[in-house]
C-alpha cells in the first residue's frame, strides 16, 4: 500500500479552496494546518512532503520545486494583507509586524523602501491591531485578522499591499504555492493533477466554503464570499510567474534575500 502524501497548508480562509476537495479520506492525502511560517518549518524539517509555503521562503531553502499551475495570487486589492495606520504613511516611524507570514513582511519592507520612501523601525508583535497601534505608528496584519478587523473603530486607515504592489508593478502578486523537495518521489504527475483538480473544485465551491468557514458569524459571510470571488485567484500563470520573479528581484535588491532563486517545477 502506497504512503499517503503529507500536506501542510495554511489555516486562513484563502487556503480553503485549495484543500476543500482533499478532506475525504479516500483522497490519499494527510492534511494539517499551520500559520505560514510554521508550514515552511515543517517542510524544512521533512515533516511534510508538500507545503503551501509563503513565496519568500522558497528562496531560503535549496532544492525545492514548485507544484506547477497552483498558487494563491492577487492582481489588485488582496484585502487580507495590509498596513493599518493612524497617520499618513510618509509620517510612519515605527511599524509593528505580524510575523506569521515572512512574505508579507518582505513585501512591507520592499514597499517602504521603494514606494512609500520611508524607513520605519520594524517591531515584531502578536496580531492584535489595538495593541500594535498602542505601541507603533502603523501595523502590518495578514490573513483573517486583516480581512475581518474593524480598523475604523481603531481609528486607522487600511493600506492594501496587494493593491499597492499591482499599481506599482502592473503585475500580480504571488503569496504562496505548493512546494516540496526536488527528490520527493511521492510527488508524481498524478499527485500534481489531483491537486489541480482539487483547486478547481474548491474555486467552484467558494461560496459554500466561505459560509462554512464563517459559520456562526453571518455578518462575516458576505465579506468572506466577496473575498474568495474578487480578491484571490489560484492559478500560477505566466503573469503571476513574472510577478513572482519581480518580487524576488526587489527582495534581493534590498537584501531581504541573498539572491534570486531559480524557479523549478515538479
CATH number at residue 114: 3.40.190.10
User: What cell does 97 get?
Assistant: 509586524
Residue 11 confidence (pLDDT): 83
- Do 135 and 86 lie in a common domain? yes
Residue 266 lies in a domain: no
Among the candidates 125, 152, 169, a domain finishes at 169
Residue 261 lies in a domain: no
Residue 258 lies in a domain: no
User: What cell does 204 get?
Assistant: 467552484
- Do 124 and 194 lie in a common domain? no
Residue 196 lies in a domain: yes
Q: For the packed helices 238-253 and 102-111, what is the interaxial angle rounded to 10 degrees?
A: 70
Residue 198 lies in a domain: yes
Residue 24 confidence (pLDDT): 56
Q: What is the pLDDT of residues 65-124, one digit of tens each?
A: 999 999 999 999 999 999 999 999 999 999 999 877 789 999 999 999 999 999 999 999
- Do 248 and 186 lie in a common domain? yes
Q: Which of 92, 156, 86, 97 is nearest to 122 (CA)?
A: 97
pTM of the model: 0.94
- Do 70 and 178 lie in a common domain? yes
% of the chain exceeding 90 in pLDDT? 83
User: What cell does 127 get?
Assistant: 496580531
Q: Which domain holds residue 33?
A: 5-74+172-253
- Do 62 and 24 lie in a common domain? yes
- Structural domains counted in the chain: 2
- Do 14 and 64 lie in a common domain? yes
Q: What is the pLDDT of residues 193-245, one digit of tens each?
A: 999 999 999 999 999 999 999 998 888 999 999 999 999 999 999 999 999 99
Is the pLDDT at 25 greater than 60? The verdict is no
Residue 244 lies in a domain: yes
Count of all residues that appear for the chain in the document: 266
Confidence of residue 135 (pLDDT cuts 50, 70, 90): very high
Distance of CA 167 to the CA centre of its chain: 19
Phi then psi for 63, rounded to 5 degrees?
80, 20
CA distance linking residue 31 with residue 9, whole number of Å:
7
9-30 average pLDDT score:
83
Among the candidates 114, 136, 169, a domain finishes at 169
Residue 14 confidence (pLDDT): 94
Among the candidates 149, 169, 189, a domain finishes at 169
Residue listed under C-alpha cell 468557514: 213
- Do 186 and 228 lie in a common domain? yes
Residue 262 lies in a domain: no
Amino acid at each position: 500500500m502506497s504512503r499517503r502524501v503529507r500536506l501542510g497548508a495554511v489555516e486562513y480562509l484563502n487556503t480553503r479552496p485549495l484543500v476543500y476537495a482533499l478532506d475525504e479520506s479516500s483522497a490519499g492525502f494527510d492534511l494539517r494546518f499551520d500559520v505560514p511560517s510554521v508550514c515552511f518549518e515543517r517542510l524544512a524539517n521533512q515533516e511534510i512532503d508538500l507545503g503551501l509555503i509563503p513565496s519568500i521562503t522558497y528562496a531560503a531553502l535549496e532544492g525545492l520545486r514548485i507544484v506547477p499551475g497552483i498558487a494563491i495570487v492577487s492582481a489588485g486589492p488582496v484585502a487580507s494583507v495590509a498596513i493599518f495606520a493612524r497617520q499618513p504613511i510618509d509620517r510612519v516611524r515605527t511599524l509593528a509586524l505580524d510575523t506569521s507570514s515572512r512574505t508579507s513582511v518582505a513585501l512591507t519592507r520592499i514597499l517602504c523602501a521603494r514606494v512609500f520612501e520611508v524607513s520605519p523601525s520594524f517591531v515584531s508583535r502578536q496580531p492584535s491591531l489595538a495593541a500594535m497601534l498602542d505601541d507603533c505608528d502603523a501595523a502590518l496584519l495578514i490573513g483573517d485578522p486583516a480581512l475581518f478587523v474593524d480598523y475604523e473603530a481603531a481609528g486607522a486607515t487600511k493600506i492594501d499591499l496587494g493593491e499597492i504592489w499591482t499599481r506599482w508593478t502592473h503585475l500580480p502578486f504571488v503569496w504562496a504555492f505548493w512546494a516540496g523537495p526536488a527528490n520527493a518521489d511521492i510527488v508524481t504527475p498524478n499527485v500534481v493533477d489531483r491537486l489541480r483538480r482539487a483547486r478547481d473544485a474548491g474555486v467552484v465551491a467558494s461560496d459554500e466554503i466561505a459560509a462554512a468557514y464563517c459559520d456562526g458569524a453571518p455578518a462575516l459571510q458576505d465579506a468572506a464570499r466577496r473575498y474568495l470571488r474578487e480578491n484571490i485567484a489560484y492559478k500560477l500563470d505566466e503573469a503571476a510567474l513574472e510577478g513572482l520573479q519581480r518580487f524576488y528581484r526587489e527582495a534581493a535588491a534590498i537584501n531581504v534575500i541573498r539572491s534570486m532563486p531559480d524557479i523549478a517545477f515538479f
